[in-house]
Structure formats: structure tokens, C-alpha cells
Amino acid sequence: MLFSSSVFLLCFLPLLILCYYIVPGRCLPWRNLVLLAFSLAFYAFGGLRYFWLLCLCIAADYAAGLGLSRAGSPKTKKLLLVMTVLATLGILGYYKYARFAAATVSWLGLSVKVPDIVLPIGISFFTFQGLSYVIDVYRGSAPAQKNPLRIALYISLFPQLVAGPIVRYTDIEESLGRRGHDLDTFAQGLVRFCFGLGKKMLLANAMGEIADSAFSLAGHPSLTASLAWIGALAYSFQIYFDFSGYSDMAIGLGKLFGFRFAENFDYPYVSSSVTEFWRRWHISLSSWFRDYVYIPLGGNRCSAGRNVLNLLIVWFLTGLWHGANWTFVLWGLYYGILLLLEKYVFKNALSRIPGLIRHVLTLLLVVLGWVLFRSDSIGRAWLYLLAMFGRSGAASGQALYYLLQYWPEFLCCILASMPLKRLLERRFAENAALRIGAIGMAALVFALSYMRLEYGGFNPFIYFQF
């Protein structure tokens, strides 16, 4: 079920709000039960075929947490942790990477049958959330939860279940047992949700139509440099507003029910270095790999050679997490190499370059990286990159057509990529009339988004595939 669907907006969400708030505030366990029931129904709506897998992961994480809290020796705790991690990664590996591995082996010339496996929705997110809980219990940074319903709610909580952000158990542990509800926070949640929906429906979808058209021409003579650049820029905006829009909707939905999720994006396209870009982009994933992979490997408290290896491992896994394709692996390694160059080769030189030039260079590298991320294969990515640098000529009428037809969306994308919202929020906080105006603007964005939903058929969510 998509947040940007009539079923969710007109049926699921209003019914959930009604059932949730009809329960008295002093009966939080019953409110949690309502939220759990609707969260499980939300996932089941996307496909009953793998509903059991979510339930299995919940049960395994709950049992592992209890086991770790009761283990008598460090050796037993470590063994239990290793077994849980291997089992969880085994599930993720089978459903997400078995086809990829078999296809790779078959490509190498060995006779291997490629299994027909459908990727369960959200498996990359709910497995990582479960792992963070188990690892935190093992480390002693979180107590084992004895109430199975709270663990089930943590892992299956529908706002972030299928496409993130990756919420740590320690971030919402207290809220699972005690949280407040007030009208002001509820209103903030609705406003945040509406603007997130607008990002998705009004900006990401429009940019996606351009990007799909341009990338489908990879290798074709009609893909001129101007069209290729417009397509790459459109995809850069599409993936940002698609995913940050989903994160905004998830954060807003969390506020409706008393949860406060951490921010997942911090205007990454204003970055002046690749390092800064990854501090601002998909923050929950970056911090997950930092805390549970990079630091345990030794982080930067080791020799330069080992640090290089640690970074390459982390970025190889980051790329692989995004998808079972060599394009994603190379995309991850591409960023690993760029980060290493910034850290060890160009560190001093970068500080002497004017900020505007550093910003433009960073955006150029990011856009080129998105070409690899978006392409179906390495070969098509290479053909697209060649087109960007003039292989099939410079200008085309189709590029001009997209600029003339979509200039309002491009302008809105540029403005919405800047931290103007923060400046407006400060003004709104100081003026009650402006706050009412923000609610009215959110209502307008919702109305326009719903019109786009009803009259437009193009409505994918990019991160659902992960």
C-alpha cells in the first residue's frame, strides 16, 4: 500500500486515526495494540505471501533479545548474537541476492538455475531494524524488551516499515511505553505529511517521467548531450524528492501517533563535498553502517591502510544493500573511492577552492553517480555517460520540449532543495497567523497532490525495490 494512494489517504489512515483516538489516552497499551494491528494489516495488504516472514523476524528478534539478557557467559552471548545475525542476513541474502548470485555464476559460464524469487517489500529495512535492536541489547546500550507486542510494534510500525527511515530501538524505546499526544504535534504531523506527499506527487513524479524517457534512450542516437543531462538532473531530483518525501510522510505520520523519528535528509544538494553529502543523505542508513559495520571493523582508529579497507568494505556493502545488481556495487565503490580521495589526497587542496566551485563539483559528481545508480546495467550506464559528453551531438528538440513543459517543476525542485523551509519555519514559530497560513498551504498541497494522484497514472516509489 502506497502512502500516495486513494486507499491509504481516504480509507486506511482516517480509519486508523479514528480507532486509535477513540481509545482513551490513559490506555496506551490498547492504543499500541490498535497501531500494531493496523501496521500488520498495512504490510499484509502489500502481499500476504510474505507476511509470515515479517512475523518470523519479529519472533526471532524478540527471542534473541531475551536470550541475550539471560545468557550466563560472554561466550554464550556472543554465540547467540552471531547465530541471530547470520540467520537474519541469511534471510535477507536469500530473498534479495540469490537471483543475483545465481545469475552472476551463470554469466561466468557455470550451469546454475536462476531461482524465481520475489523480493518481499521492505525486507532491507525491517531486517536492519531488528539487527540494530539485537546488537544494542548485546552491547548493553538497550535493555531487552520483555513485552513481545512492543517489539512487534517497533519492527512493524507502518510509517517506516517498507521504505524507512531506519529507526533505532533506542530512539523510540521510551515512546513505546510512554508518550504524549497533543493537538499541536498532531497538526505538525499532518502538515509534514502533506508537504511530503507534495514532494512525491508534484515533484518526484514529474521528474520521473523525464528521467524514464531519457534513460530508455541509452545507446540510441537521439540521446543528445542536452537531453542526457536533463534526464540525469531530473533523476537526481526524482530520487531525492521521492525518498525525502516518503521520509517526511513517515515522520509526519509518526507525530500523529506520538512518535518522533529522526530526520533522514538534511538538504544534501547544498553540500560542498562528497563527505558532507553523505552526512546529509539517507542519514539513518549512513549512521547504521557507521555504528554497526565501520566502527566494529576499526573505523579510523587504525592504520591508514586498514582504514582504506574499512571504508571500501562499508561502501561495497552500502551499494549492495541498495540492490542486487553490479551497478549498485560499483555505485557504492564509486563513493568509497571519492571519500578516500577527499580524505587522503585532496583534503588540503579542497579547503583552498572557493565554496561555490566546490559545491558545483560536488553536484557534478553526485549527478554522475546517479546515472550509474539508475541504469539497468553497467553497459547502459556507460552509453548514457558517453551521451552526456557529446557522443550523439549536443542539442535536441526533445530537451527543449522538457525545459519548456516542466520549467515550473524544475524551478520548484531547485528551491525545495535549498533550506528555505527552515527560514520559513522560524518565521511561522514567531507568528500565529503565519502558522495558520502554513496549514492552509499544506491543505492546498494535499489537494493538488490528490488531483495528480487521481488524474495521473505514474506513481512509483523508488525505494520500495530495496
pLDDT (mean) for 291-319: 90
Q: Residue 459 above 70 pLDDT?
A: no
- Binning the chain into helix, strand and coil, the percentages to the nearest 5 are 75, 0, 25
Average pLDDT of every residue of the chain = 89
CB distance 394 to 226 below 8 Å = yes
Q: Residue 161 above 70 pLDDT?
A: yes
CB distance 57 to 88 below 8 Å = yes
322 carries an active-site annotation: yes
pLDDT tens per residue, range 373-422: 999 999 999 999 999 998 777 778 888 999 999 999 999 999 999 988 77
Alpha helices in 281-354 (DSSP H): 283-289, 295-297, 304-322, 326-340, 347-352
Residue 170: partners with Cβ closer than 8 Å, 6 or more residues away: 136, 141, 142
**What values do phi and psi take at 268, rounded to 5?**
-65, -25
Q: Residue 212 above 90 pLDDT?
A: yes
Domain ranges of the chain: 6-179, 185-465
- Percentage, residues of the chain above pLDDT 70: 95
Exposure string for 27-38, b = 16+ CB within 10 A, e = fewer? ebeebbebbbeb
Model pTM? 0.91
pLDDT of residue 465: 61
Q: Active-site residue among 181, 220, 282, 322?
A: 322
Would you call 73 helix, strand, or coil by DSSP?
A: coil
